[in-house]
Amino acid sequence: MRESLRADYTARLMDGIGRIGPGPMFERFGAKFLDHHLDVVLVHRGLNAQLSPVGHTIDSYDDAGGVGAEYSIDQDYFSGSMPKARDDLLHVLRKHPTVADIYLLSSRKAGEGIIPAFTQRTQHWPGMLARALHVYDARRIAEVIVDELLPSDAAIDDLVEHLPALAAIIDDAAASLAVPGVDSRHVDRPEVGAMIADALAARGPVATIAGIGGLGKSEAAAAYAEEHRGRYDTCMWIDGDTLRRTADLKAIALWRGGDSRNVAAMLRAHRCLLIIDDIADTIGADELAPLCGDGSHIILTRRTPREGDVVVPMLLRDEARAILDQGLADPCPDAILDALLHTVGGHPLSLALLNRVVKDGTSWNDIAEDCAAIPELTLGDQRLADRLLGRLRSALGHELQLFEWMGQASCDLRFLRRAIGGIGIAKLRQHGLTAPDRPSTLRLHDIIQASVMTQRWLTPERMATLDDTLENVIEALMAEEGLALRVLASTMRAKLEVLAARDPRPAFLVALLEIWKPGETRPDLLPDPADAAEALAVNAAAPRSAQVRAVLETIEGLYRHDKLASVGGAKDNLRARLPVYERLAALGGLDSRTETEIRHHYAKALKNVGRDAEAQAMFEEVLEGPHPLPASRLQLVRLYGRAKERVDCAAEQADIVLTAAGAAGAVSSNVALATLQSLPSAGGKWRQALFDKHADLIEREIVVAAKAGAEDALLAFAAVARHWSWHDRDRLLRVFASVELIDPLMLDDRTRAACGEVFAEVGKAQDGAAFQKQALRYYEAVEAPTDFGLQKHGQLLIEMDQPAEAEAVLLRIAEPGAFALYRLSQAQLALDKAADALIAIDTALARLDSKQAYFRSSFLAQRYDVRRALNDSDARDDLDEAHRLCEPGKYKDFLGGRLAAS
C-alpha cells in the first residue's frame, strides 16, 4: 500500500475510533478487534440489562490464562503518569496473575514517547517479570486494522458496526476478487450446496462443480460462499480465463481498501475460500490442493466433468416453473412447460431468457413455436439463445452492441458506465443476461456472448464512438495513477491489443504497457519512439500527458523486452533512442513535474547504457530541482556504490531515503525496499550502521510489503538477513515469522534465490537442518542462476556438509570473484584437496580490492586452515594477521579464541 494512502486510512480510522462510545460500546469494539488480531480465543465479559459491564473480572481473557485485556475511553488515559492505565494493568495482574501478555486499549491518541515511557517504567515492576505489556492507542489500533485486518471480510463485517469509516474505505478502493452476490432470480437448491460440502469433506480442500454452460455452476458456487461465509476470513473469486497453469496464481493479487495481498499467500496464512470460475482444463484440482492452509478451500467450476466432480443436475419441474413464472401475471401453461422441458431440459439460463422475453411482450404461444423449431439444446448449439436475443434487439440492442465491439464477455464496469450508463447496465442485469463476476467488471454469460457475436448489430458509427469513449476513460484513469487503470487494462487486454494494432492511440499503449510483462510485450504494436516524439514536436498543439507518457513507457517497455533476447542488443537499441529524451524535453507546454520525470527517465536510460557519469550528473540535477524524486536518490545510491570514493555519498543518499520513509506518504514502499537491496556490500561499517539505525523502519516495510504479497519484500529481507543473523537474531526470527514465503515454483529466479538466502540465514539462528533443506529447495529451483546465486548456493552446501556438491556448484561460475573463490577453497579443503584449496584462497586474496578490505580477516583465517592442513610451519602468521586486522566484535573474539587454542 502506498504510504500516503496508508496514512490517510489510518487518520480516518483514528478519528472514527475516537468517536466510539460510551464505554460499553468501546469494550465491544475492542473485544472484536482482539478476536481478529490475536491468534487466541478470548472470553469477553458481557453486559447486563442496563448495558453496564459485568463486574468482578477483567474485560477479556483466554481460557489458558495467558492473555488479559482492558479497554478504556478515558479522556486523560495518556495524561501525566497514566494512572488509569496503571490501575488497569494492576487490575489484570490481580484478577489473572498467570497472564503472560497484557493488552491495554484506549480510544485516545497518545503523545510522542508516552507509551514507550510507560512501558519502560512498568517493565521493572516485580509483577511484570516474564510478562509483556502491549499498549494500543487509537493510532496503533488503526494501523493494525489497515496493515493486518483489511483483507479479512470477517473482521470488516464485525468492526464496521462500530467503525463506519471502514465501510467508506472499502468503498473508496473497490475490493477486487470479491465473490459476487447471489442473483435475486437464483433458485435455492440446497441439494447442490450439500453436494459441494460433501465433496470438500471427502476429497480434501478442493471441490469442482461441472456441467454445461448456463447450468448454474457459478450461481451455485456464489450461493455456497454466501451460506458458509462465516467459516472463512476472506472469500475470493477469480475468472478461470486468467489462469492457464497453477503458477499463474502468483501474479494475482487481492485488493482490499487499496492494499494488495498475494492470493497464494492468503490461502496459506488465512482461512480463505477461493472460487475459480470456468477454470481451464489444463489445471487439475490436485495441483491446487497444496496451496491451501488449514481452513482454506478452493471451489472450481468447469464445463467438462471429471471423476469425482460435483455435476450440477438440470432443474426439476417445480424449479423450472419458479424461473419461468417469476414476476409474470400469466404463468406458463402446463403443456408449454412440458414442451420446454422436453426441448431444453431444466437449463436455468434458457428458462431465464424465456422469462425475460415473455416479460417484454412475447406470448407463450410464440415461445412454443420457437421451441418446436429446435429439437434439443446441446453443448455448443446456440440456436435457442439466438432466437431469444433476436426478440430482445429493440430493448437491448444498444447495450449488446458494446459486447460485440469488445469481442469478449467481460468488460470493465467503469468503462461500461461511461459507454452505456447506469440504466443500460441495469437493463442487462434485469434481463438475466449477466453472470457472476468481480465488482469491477460486468460479464455476460458465455452462451449470451456467443449469440451476441452472431447478431452483427454493431455499426461503424457506434464502433468509432466506443473507441473514443475508451480513450477518454483511460486518460482519466492515467491522471488518477491508481489501481483502476490496471484493472481496466487487465480486463480489456484483448480488446486493447486489437485497438492498438488498428489505431495505436497513446492511451491504448499506456494501458497495455501498464500490464505487459517483458515476455508479453508486443513490439509490433508499439510505434517507433523517435517517430512518436517527432510527431509531438511538429504538432502545433501542446502535447497531452498521455502522449508524453506513451513515448517514455514505450522506450522502457522495449528495453525490458529486448533484454530477454540480448542484454547487449537491448543496450544498443536503447542507446539509439537516447535523442528521444532530448526531443521530449524540448517540447513546449510541459509542466515542471513532467519535465522532471523526463529527466529522471533519461538519466535511467544513460545508466542502463553505461554512461554512469552523465546519468549521475542528471540525477543530481533532479535533486536540485523543484521535484527531488526519491527514485532519483535510489539511482544515485546504486551509482555512488560502484566507486570507492563515493561510497559515503551512497550512504548519505540511502540515509535520506530511509529517514524520509519514516514519514507517512513521503517515499513509496517499493523505493524504500529497493534502497535496501541497492546498498553495496562493500559499504562495510556504514552499511551495518544504516541497518541498525533504521531497523524498525526496515522491519515494518518488509512485514507490511510481504503481507501485501509484494515479492520485493523478500528481496529486501534477503539483503538485511545476513546482518541480522549476526547482530539481531531476535529481529530476524520475528520478521521471518511474519513473512509468508511462497512455493518456489510460483516465483521468478531472483525471488527464489532471495528466499533461499533468507532460509539459510534463519537456519543459523535456530533449527539449522530443517531450514537449510528449505533453502536448498529454493536454490535448486532457480533456472538461470547468477554468479552470486551460485556462490550462495555453494555456501549453503558447505554449511550442510556437502562439499562435493558445493564444489560442483561453485565451479559453474565462469569468472569467480574473491568471495566465490573463498567458498571454493572451503569446499576443496573439506574434500582433502588442500593444494587446490590453497590456489583458490591465494587467488581470492589477490582479487580482494580495497573496497573489500573489511573481509580480509576471514580470508586469512581460511588460508591459515589450508596451510595448516599442508603442515606449513608458518601457518599461524595468517591467523595472527587476521586477528590484527579484524574490527572489534564477535568475529574478532572468535579469532582470539582460535589463537589461544592454536
125 & 197 share domain = no
Residue 524 has pLDDT above 50, yes or no: yes
How far is CA 834 from its chain centroid? 49
Instruction: Look at residue 602 in the predicted model and tell me its pLDDT.
Output: 95
Q: Choose the weakest-confidence range: 22-26, 182-186, 661-665, 821-825.
A: 182-186
293 & 357 share domain = no
Split at pLDDT 50, 70, 90, the class of 771 is confident
87 & 123 share domain = yes
Cα(772)–Cα(224) distance, integer angstroms: 42
Split at pLDDT 50, 70, 90, the class of 173 is very low
Q: Which of 260, 291, 311 is the last residue of a domain?
A: 311
Convert the pLDDT of each residue in 881-902 to its tens digit: 989 988 888 788 888 888 888 7
Give the up-direction half-sphere exposure of residue 511: CA atoms within 13 A in the CB hemisphere. 29
Q: pTM here?
A: 0.54
Using CA of residue 50, residue 54, residue 59, residue 62, what is the dihedral sign? negative
305 & 339 share domain = no
Q: How many CB atoms neighbour CB 171 within 10 A?
A: 10
Read off the C-alpha cell for 47: 453486559
Instruction: Look at residue 374 in the predicted model and tell me its pLDDT.
Output: 41
Convert the pLDDT of each residue in 540-554 to its tens digit: 888 988 999 999 999
Instruction: Look at residue 447 in the predicted model and tell me its pLDDT.
Output: 62
Q: Choose the weakest-confidence range: 307-311, 339-343, 540-544, 556-560.
A: 339-343
Instruction: Look at residue 70 in the predicted model and tell me its pLDDT.
Output: 94
- For residue 626, whether the previous peptide bond is cis, meaning omega lies within 30 degrees of 0, is no
Convert the pLDDT of each residue in 409-452 to its tens digit: 889 888 999 999 988 888 787 666 776 666 678 888 766 777 78
Are the beta carbons of 250 and 742 closer than 8 angstroms? yes
CATH at residue 254: 3.40.50.300
194 & 69 share domain = no
Convert the pLDDT of each residue in 14-62 to its tens digit: 989 988 877 788 888 998 999 888 877 788 775 444 445 566 678 888 8
20 & 156 share domain = yes
Cα(826)–Cα(839) distance, integer angstroms: 12
Cα(56)–Cα(104) distance, integer angstroms: 18
Element of type H or E holding 275: strand 272-277
What mean pLDDT is predicted for residues 846-854? Answer: 80
Cα(40)–Cα(651) distance, integer angstroms: 43
On whether residue 234 sits in a domain, the answer given is yes
Cα(184)–Cα(426) distance, integer angstroms: 13
Read off the C-alpha cell for 518: 517483458
On whether residue 95 sits in a domain, the answer given is yes
326 & 294 share domain = no
Are the beta carbons of 348 and 214 closer than 8 angstroms? yes
Read off the C-alpha cell for 707: 503481507
What mean pLDDT is predicted for residues 118-138? Answer: 88
On whether residue 223 sits in a domain, the answer given is yes
Buried/exposed code over 728-756 (b: 16+ C-beta within 10 A; e: otherwise):
beebbeebbeebbbbbbebbeebbbbbbb
Residue 766 has pLDDT above 70, yes or no: no
Go through the chain and tell me how many residues it has. Answer: 902
On whether residue 458 sits in a domain, the answer given is no
CATH at residue 889: 1.25.40
Instruction: Look at residue 455 in the predicted model and tell me its pLDDT.
Output: 77
On whether residue 152 sits in a domain, the answer given is yes
Read off the C-alpha cell for 311: 455435476
Instruction: Look at residue 506 in the predicted model and tell me its pLDDT.
Output: 94
Q: Which of 293, 311, 329 is the last residue of a domain?
A: 311
Residues above pLDDT 90, as percent of the chain: 33
Are the beta carbons of 98 and 65 closer than 8 angstroms? yes
With a CB cutoff of 8 Å and minimum separation 6, the contacts of 260 are 1, 253, 254, 708, 709, 710
Q: Which of 360, 391, 422 is the last residue of a domain?
A: 391
Residue ranges making up the domain that contains 854 = 814-901
163 & 304 share domain = no
Convert the pLDDT of each residue in 65-86 to its tens digit: 889 999 999 999 999 989 999 9
CA distances from 207 to 249, 284, 895 (A): 18, 10, 59
Cα(388)–Cα(370) distance, integer angstroms: 9
Grid cell 610451519 in the structure block, residue: 873
- Report the number of distinct structural domains present in the chain: 4
Give the 3-state DSSP-derived string for 690-750, with helices as H, strands as E and coil as C.
HHHHCHHHHHHHHHHHHHCCCCHHHHHHHHHHHHHHHHCHHHHHHHHHHCCCCCHHHCCHH
Cα(367)–Cα(349) distance, integer angstroms: 15
Residue 654 has pLDDT above 50, yes or no: yes
On whether residue 209 sits in a domain, the answer given is yes
On whether residue 795 sits in a domain, the answer given is no
244 & 100 share domain = no
Cα(64)–Cα(42) distance, integer angstroms: 9
18 & 151 share domain = yes
40 & 141 share domain = yes
Q: Exposed, middle or buried: residue 891 (CB in 10 Å: 0-12, 13-18, 19+)?
A: middle
9 & 146 share domain = yes
Instruction: Look at residue 740 in the predicted model and tell me its pLDDT.
Output: 67
Cα(229)–Cα(127) distance, integer angstroms: 43
What mean pLDDT is predicted for residues 716-720? Answer: 84
Give the up-direction half-sphere exposure of residue 855: CA atoms within 13 A in the CB hemisphere. 21
Instruction: Look at residue 50 in the predicted model and tell me its pLDDT.
Output: 45
On whether residue 544 sits in a domain, the answer given is no
Read off the C-alpha cell for 749: 529466479
Instruction: Look at residue 3 in the predicted model and tell me its pLDDT.
Output: 58
Read off the C-alpha cell for 683: 559499504
Of 727, 693, 741, nearest to 887 by C-alpha is 727
Instruction: Output the average pLDDT for the chain.
Output: 83
The DSSP symbol for 145 reads I
Split at pLDDT 50, 70, 90, the class of 344 is low
Are the beta carbons of 272 and 231 closer than 8 angstroms? no
Instruction: Look at residue 48 in the predicted model and tell me its pLDDT.
Output: 47
